[in-house]
Amino acid sequence: MGKAPAIELVPGIWRIPTMYSDGINAFVLLDDDGQATVVDGGLPNKWPMVANALGYLGIGPDDVTRIISTHAHSDHAGGLAKLQTLTGAPVAAHVEDAPYLRTGTAPAIDPRIRFGRYLQRWVSFPAVAVEQELEDGHVLPVAGGLRVVHTPGHTPGHISLLHEETGVLITGDAIHNWRGRIGLAIKWFGHDLDLQAKTVHRLGELDYDLVAFTHGPEMRVDAREAVRSFLMAQQAAS
């Protein structure tokens, strides 16, 4: 039996793997009235996996009423334009990443990264219209309330998302869970590595029970403690 197209995290919230080994994930949150919010869209050629997962969950294109972008990199924003066309849903993104999404150009990579200008082309993507610009602390009317947590550095407008009602944190690329180990996002594509290392500590201040990563499987047991331990170790080493 193959892997399911969507994995339930808690009732009403699912993770959608768009790459082998849970390498890249999107998410969907469902309201009581059947309206759905999609978070991220995978690489440009992987958006059908998101669409397939929606069908698997019984969610039709017209049921999707909002699409949220965690940040303007191709492995998460690549499928947004196609998903927007499919569903007609507006796209929301942080105000600082919205201009990049509208042009399909990833933010500049930290100047300390060798060949950063060349690598930047690999994280650009099809342009997508952004209708709602988000700011830190904004609570979206999604499944009882979805809080925007601005964690810049990987991109200027990178966001994590906290669903306080169920205790689910979607990290975006602030941190990864690769091969069972928490780590910072791959530095090769980071916009400001120093800023990311600073703002990621916001995740240790939040209250949650389950951590959902855009890279890697979720953590369901002692998730907040694991994240805080990682952040404390990172701070001690800096």
Q: Is residue 212 domain-resident?
A: yes
Q: Which two tokens stand for residue 166?
A: 């169920």
**Identity of the amino acid at 32:** D
CATH of the domain at 26: 3.60.15.10
Q: Is residue 176 domain-resident?
A: yes
Q: What is the arithmetic mean of pLDDT over 64-82?
A: 98
Task: Indicate the DSSP class of residue 196.
Answer: H
If you write DSSP's letter for every residue of 198-236 in order, what string do you get? HHGGGGGTS--SEEE-SSS--B-SSHHHHHHHHHHHHHH
Where would I find the beta strands (DSSP E) of 13-158?
13-17, 25-30, 36-39, 64-68, 91-94, 132-134, 139-140, 146-150
Task: Report d(CA 220, CA 12) in Å as an integer.
Answer: 16
Q: Is residue 2 domain-resident?
A: no
Give the number of other CB atoms < 10 A from CB of residue 131: 14
pLDDT in tens, 98-115: 999 999 999 999 999 988
Q: What is residue 149's three-state secondary structure? A: strand
> Residues 114, 127, 141, 138: is their CA dihedral positive or negative?
positive
User: Among 170, 174, 172, 177, which residue's Cα sits nearest to residue 146?
Assistant: 170
- Residues whose CB is less than 8 angstroms from the CB of residue 102 and which lie 6 or more positions away in sequence, other chains included: 127, 128, 129, 130
Domain, as residue range, for 131: 7-237
pLDDT at 1 over 70: no
Q: Is residue 1 domain-resident?
A: no
The domain total for the chain is 1
What share of the chain has pLDDT > 90, as a percent? Answer: 87
Q: Is residue 12 domain-resident?
A: yes
**Identity of the amino acid at 152:** P
**Nearest 5°: CA angle at 130, between 24 and 77?**
15
pLDDT in tens, 114-171: 888 888 888 889 999 999 999 999 999 999 999 999 999 999 999 999 999 999 999 9
Element (H, E) at 161: strand 159-163
pLDDT in tens, 173-211: 999 998 889 999 989 999 999 999 999 999 999 999 999
User: Among 72, 88, 76, 216, which residue's Cα sits nearest to residue 134?
Assistant: 72
pLDDT of residue 121: 80
